[in-house]
Amino acid sequence: MRKILSLLLIMLFLAPEAQAQLAEISGQVFLPSVKREQRAFRGKAYRNRLSASSVSKERSEILQSSFIDVIVSAHPLSFIAGTTPLSDAKILQKDANFIPRVVPVTVGTAVQFINKDNFFHNVFSITPGSEFNIGRRPTNVVRSQVINQVGEIKIFCDIHAQMNAFILCLDTPYFTRVEPNGRYLLSDLPDGDYEIRIYHPDLTGLTERVSIKDAVSLKLNFTLAD
């Protein structure tokens, strides 16, 4: 009887550990040379930013190759993963740039916009379904905007036409920014089927379906193209 009781106690203590076993997906992302367009127009032309034909003559291209704008996310297909709003999402306006240029968030996150320049800035979006305009703000003024629509949201400053950034709103808690060396790590993944998505605002995104079983981790490399 004592042996049976001891065995039951051992199983009771081991069960949570077995249930807690989670997997990782890691690997390398490879990028081509990225051409990012620098906006050089002013005035009322900002209303047409989403129309390539209307602004292409007023743009000049600068060359950029960077991993900082790459976001890797895992989207469950065989189960529903709950998300909670992030508490520390911030975009600075400094040296007439948005920093960082790409910000991943979950649905319902309030993104803080902070002006760190000694002149006025504005933040607005005309992405369908996510339109907002916080108005023109002086130095050190903080304004928050709640992001509720899944997908890419483009933001601009109506004072400085060269400024642009992207909020990537996700419906999954499993995502990460790629490291400066191109490596990434998605951790704490339960068993199940996933769609892995590789995002960069200037490049064609990639998707790949994978399955995790028995908490076995995976190694996946991706190469983005123009």
For the residues of 45-62, what is the DSSP string, one character each?
Answer: GGGGTT-HHHHGGGEEEE
Domain assignment present for 164: yes
Domain assignment present for 42: no
Q: Which domain holds residue 157?
A: 83-171
Per-residue pLDDT tens digits for 123-154: 999 999 999 999 999 999 899 999 999 999 99
How far is Cα of residue 42 from the mean position of the Cα atoms in its chain? 28
Alpha helices (runs of H) in 52-158, residue ranges in sequence order: 52-55
Residue found by looking up tokens 């704490």 in the block: 188
Domain assignment present for 96: yes
Residue 3 in contact with residue 158, Cβ under 8 Å?
A: no
CATH classification of the domain holding 151: 2.60.40.420
Per-residue pLDDT tens digits for 181-212: 999 999 999 999 999 999 999 999 999 999 99
3-state SS class at 43: helix
| Element holding 193 (H helix, E strand) | strand 192-199
Q: How many domains does the chain have?
A: 1
pLDDT in tens, the chain (226 residues): 555 545 444 444 444 444 558 999 999 999 986 455 544 434 444 444 444 443 333 333 333 448 999 999 999 999 999 999 999 999 999 999 999 999 999 999 999 999 999 999 999 999 999 999 999 999 998 999 999 999 999 999 999 988 999 999 999 999 999 999 999 999 999 999 999 999 999 999 999 999 999 999 999 999 998 8
Domain assignment present for 184: no
Domain assignment present for 125: yes
| Element holding 125 (H helix, E strand) | strand 121-125
Measured over the CA atoms of residue 99, residue 100, residue 102 and residue 108, the dihedral's sign is: negative
Residues 50, 181: Cα–Cα separation, whole Å: 32
Domain assignment present for 103: yes
Domain assignment present for 135: yes
Domain assignment present for 37: no
The per-residue DSSP string of 24-51 comes to EEEEEEE---EEEEEE---GGGGGGTT-
